[in-house]
A = this chain, B = another copy of it.
């Protein structure tokens, strides 16, 4: 299923919010560029590459409520949660394991663990519409997941190291 692209109103991403200023966005860019095996995205700016993560409210309305996720959106979902795991590792100094289960219908679950502690457990649904209103929102949601995970590690330090 194709995601609608930016409308005639202009690009979906504002230039001023595209600078990957936060640790989460920096990590995301690193992950995306790391998969650019053939250098096809070398000329693309960070803003261009992050734009695929953005679905504005208008774009979201155009996407059917039910739909199978395409490989691109599954790839973005994977990158997003890998990135959450990596930033948790940076912040906590502990190794995080990621397990993601996904049906072809876009329904699934992601679990991040460290030691015996579940640092993130999330049911995934409507994955074919995975995206964020703005880059700022993307950074905020990612940072929130990381913060919650780090708080859990601080609350149960012995379990996280078990």
Contacts and interface: CB of A to CB of B under 8 A. Distances in A.
Interface residues of A, number: 16
A132 to B, nearest CB: 24
A159 B99 CA distance: 20
A145 interface: no
By secondary structure, the A interface counts as strand
A117 B111 CA distance: 11
Nearest to A152: B116
Contact of A99 (B111, B115, B117, B162): B111
Copies of this polypeptide in the complex: 2
A108 to B, nearest CB: 9
A116 B109 CA distance: 15
Interface in A89-120: 97, 99-101, 109, 111, 113, 115-118
A113 B109 contact: no
- In the A-B complex, list the 5 residue pairs whose CB atoms are closest, starting with the nearest: A116-B118, A99-B111, A113-B118, A99-B101, A99-B99
18 contacts: A97-B109, A97-B111, A97-B121, A99-B99, A99-B101, A99-B111, A100-B101, A101-B101, A111-B111, A111-B113, A115-B118, A116-B117, A116-B118, A116-B152, A116-B156, A117-B118, A118-B118, A159-B159
